[in-house]
Amino acid sequence: MTAFVLGATGFVGREVVRQLCVRGVRTVAHVRPDSSSLEAWRTRFAALGAAVDTTAWEETALTARLRELTPAQLYVLIGTTRAKAKIDRVDGDIYEAVDLRLTQLAVTAARASETRPRIVFLSSVGAARGARSPYLRARGKAEDVVTGSGLPWVIARPSFIIGDRDEARRGERGAALVGDSLLAVAGAFGGKQVRDKYSSTTPDVLASALIRIAEAPEHDRIAEGGALR
């Protein structure tokens, strides 16, 4: 079995690659060909036992690569931040331009490859096409792309993901700690479902959950809350 990981250099993606390799899965980690850290990622992923793929984000090229690899699972763990978008000179709605557009490209390439991999999409709690937040709105639209693909799929909707990031996000850890404290109180008073849905998680826990739902017999389902622990 082969797992192809888009977004392999991300906060969660790199942990998914590591855990897949530990499990003995043939893992292909995608790194942008123009990444300034390409050689460092080659070294890091090679040490784990993963192959590095640098196929351009272009439909024909990605289709051909997926047809060649015939992955059983296609992890779509892509996303951007305002800081990254500024570096990459992305204007306008950065989440539509990056998160949504690249998800559309990945799904289109997977369909065209005729290999029918299971799409494992990392979304977010609160994602919805009509959400007020541009990030959650783009995630909701991307979910629609995945669920309408005609391919087997699973979607994970975590809440805050905390841990040591390459890029600091001011207030995120504090917000997660405050939120978790309030949710613990809610849980004590019978709000277990709310607590489970909105509690923060870490990359290692989330990566384990993503792999578990990717390999489970059931598909075409959304996992959140307790299912991601």
pLDDT in tens, 7-60: 999 999 999 999 999 999 999 999 999 999 999 999 999 999 999 999 999 999
Domain presence at residue 229? no
The residue count of the chain comes to 229
Do 20 and 97 lie in one domain? The reply is yes
**Residues near 91 by beta carbon (within 8 Å), at least 6 away in sequence:** 97
Let me know if residue 36 belongs to a domain: yes
Domains contained in the chain, number: 2
136 with 82, same domain? yes
pLDDT digits (tens, 9 = 90+) for 75-117: 999 987 677 766 667 777 889 999 999 999 999 999 999 999 9
pLDDT band at 187 (very low <50, low <70, confident <90, very high): very low
Examine the domain organization and report whether 105 and 151 are in the same domain.
yes
**Higher pLDDT among residues 185 and 161, named by residue:** 161
> Residue 85 has what DSSP assignment?
H
Question: Is there a contact between 186 and 195 (Cβ–Cβ < 8 Å)?
Answer: yes
Q: What does pTM read for this prediction?
A: 0.85
